[in-house]
């Protein structure tokens, strides 16, 4: 099995007498800050370091390091072309927001991410960087969620529920 990866090493682990290969994922912010290429494995958290980092290596890497990305992507990948054209909306103050933003970018659809006004700037800036259109509403998550559901109904876009 060949895995396209800029890292020369793969994480290999033996489980139930079968080998499983796991590609390493680039951690772009750490790599950029430290001038080294950091690779993390999302399932077993092994670390591989290479020097120097190159910008093009992050093209095929998961940029939102959470399981929320998988849930958001799976939900959105099952939407019809028409639903994707109308766009998606979600409410979140963290990882789900990043997952929806990245999945929408990869699937070529518009994503509105509704976050409480109290969301730390680093979180909503990260969502914007991943391609989400951030709307800050309400002081608490419940207010942001109510707004997102209402807007989904009014605009005909799909509400992506947090799992």
DSSP states along 17-86: TEEEEE--EE-HHHHHHHTSEEEE-TTT--EEEESS--GGGGTTS--S-SHHHHHHHHHHHTS-HHHHHH
Q: Please state the pTM of the whole predicted model.
A: 0.62
pLDDT bin (cut points 50, 70, 90) of residue 4 is very low
- Say what the pLDDT of residue 32 is: 76
Residue 10 has pLDDT above 80, yes or no: no
Please give the domain boundaries of the chain with CATH numbers for all domains: 11-58 (no CATH), 67-159 (3.40.50.1100)
Q: Which residues pair with 20 in a beta bridge?
A: 13
pLDDT bin (cut points 50, 70, 90) of residue 141 is very high
Closest CA to 9 of 52, 34, 40: 40
- Say what the pLDDT of residue 67 is: 60
Q: What is the pLDDT of residues 21-79, one digit of tens each?
A: 556 667 777 677 777 666 665 554 433 333 344 444 443 344 444 566 778 888 898 89
Q: What is the pLDDT of residues 95-132, one digit of tens each?
A: 899 989 988 988 899 999 999 999 999 999 989 998 99
- Residue of 12 and 113 predicted with greater confidence: 113
- Say what the pLDDT of residue 112 is: 98
What is the C-alpha separation between 142 and 144, in angstroms, rounded? 5
For range 6-21, the mean pLDDT: 40
């Amino acid at each position: 099995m060949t895995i396209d990866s800029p890292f020369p090493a793969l994480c290999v682990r033996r489980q139930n007498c079968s080998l499983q290969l796991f590609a390493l994922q680039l951690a772009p912010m750490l790599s950029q800050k430290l001038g080294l290429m950091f690779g993390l494995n999302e399932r077993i958290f092994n670390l591989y370091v290479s020097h120097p980092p190159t910008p093009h290596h992050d093209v095929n890497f998961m940029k939102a390091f959470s399981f929320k990305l998988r849930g958001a992507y799976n939900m959105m990948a099952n939407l019809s072309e028409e639903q994707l054209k109308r766009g998606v909306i979600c409410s979140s103050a963290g990882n789900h927001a990043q997952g929806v933003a990245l999945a929408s970018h990869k699937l070529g659809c518009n994503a509105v991410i509704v976050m409480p006004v109290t969301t730390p700037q680093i979180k909503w800036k990260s969502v914007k960087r991943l391609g989400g259109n951030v709307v800050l509403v309400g002081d608490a998550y419940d207010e942001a969620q109510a707004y997102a559901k209402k807007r989904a109904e009014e605009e005909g876009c799909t509400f992506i529920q947090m799992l």
